[in-house]
Amino acid sequence: MHFVKKIFHKFLNQKISFIYSKRFQKYHNTPKGVFWNSNLSQDLRLNIILDTIIRKLKYNKFSLADVGCGYGRLFEIIKERNLDNKINYYGFDINKEFVSFCSINNKFEKVSFEVGTYPSKNVDFVVISGAYNLTPTNNIHSWENYIITNLKSNWALADRGLIFNCLINEERKIKNKLYYTELSWIRKICEDNFGVTKISKHNLLRGDVTVIIEKLT
C-alpha cells in the first residue's frame, strides 16, 4: 500500500507541475502565474508568514525553506524589507521551470533554488504558501492524504517550526480545482501529527488561515 501511495503522489506531483508550467508560460512571473488573484493578496500572505517568524525570533538570524517558492516572490519581499542579511533563504518547487527561472534571475544570485517538495537539508523554519490550494484531483481523501504526507516530510526537516496557509470553508470540499479545508479538521490533523498548533486569521483574508506549528525545545 505504501508503494502504491508513493506512486500516486508522484503522479499528482507531475500533474501539478504540468498545470503550473502552462500557467507560468501564460502569465510569467506575476501573481496570476502562480494562481494568486493579486499582488495584494499574495504579498499579504507572505508578509504574515515572515512577521510571524520575526516576532518569535526578535530579528535574530534564521534559515528558511520556501517550499512551493514559485517565481521567488517571498525572497523578493525579504530583500525589499532588507531582511536578506538576517535570513538564510532556500527555495524549493515541484516545477523545474520555476527553479530554472529563479536560478538565472540576477535578483537571486546569493540564494539557491532546487526542485523538490521538501527541503534537501534541515532548516529552522519551513514555510508553504498556497501549495495546497490547487488540486489536480477531485478525490478529497486522496488530496488530504497527499497534504498530510507532504506536511510530515517537511516537518521532519524543520528544526524550529512549520508554517503554511490554506483556504477554509464551513466544510471540507474541492470546488473548481481548489481545495478548502475546515478549521477544526486541519487543527486536529496538525495536533495529532505534530503537536501544539496555532491558527491565525487576517481580516483582509477571510477565506484562508495561516497555520503555525512550533517544535518544543
Instruction: Look up the domain containing 49 and give its range.
Output: 1-61+73-86+97-123+153-165
| 44 domain residue, yes or no | yes
Check: CB of residue 56 under 8 Å from CB of residue 217: no
The reply to whether 10 falls in a domain is yes
**Would you say residue 24 lies in a domain?**
yes
The set of residues, in sequence order, having a beta carbon less than 8 Å from that of 140 and lying 6+ positions away, is 172, 173, 174, 179
CA distance 205 to 199: 13
> Has residue 194 been placed in a domain?
no
C-alpha cell at 171: 466544510
H/E/C letters for each residue in 94-143? CCHHHHHHHHCCHHHCCCEEEECCCCCCCEEEEEECCCCCECCCCCHHHH
Three cell numbers written together for 174: 474541492
CA distances from 152 to 147, 180, 213 (A): 9, 20, 12
pTM over the 0.85 mark: yes
Residue 113 falls inside a structural domain: yes
Q: What is the pLDDT of residues 153-188, one digit of tens each?
A: 999 999 999 999 999 999 999 999 999 999 999 999
Q: How many domains does the chain contain in total? A: 1
**Is 186 within the bounds of a domain?**
no
Amino acid identity at 156: A
Q: Which pLDDT tens digit goes with each residue over 99-158? A: 999 999 888 888 999 999 999 999 999 999 999 999 999 999 999 999 999 999 999 999
Question: Residues 21-47: what's their mean pLDDT?
Answer: 92
pLDDT in the model for residue 187: 98
Tell me, yes or no, whether 208 lies in a domain.
no
Pairwise CA distance, residues 83 & 8, whole Å: 39
CA R_g for the chain: 16
Residue 188 inside a domain? The answer is no
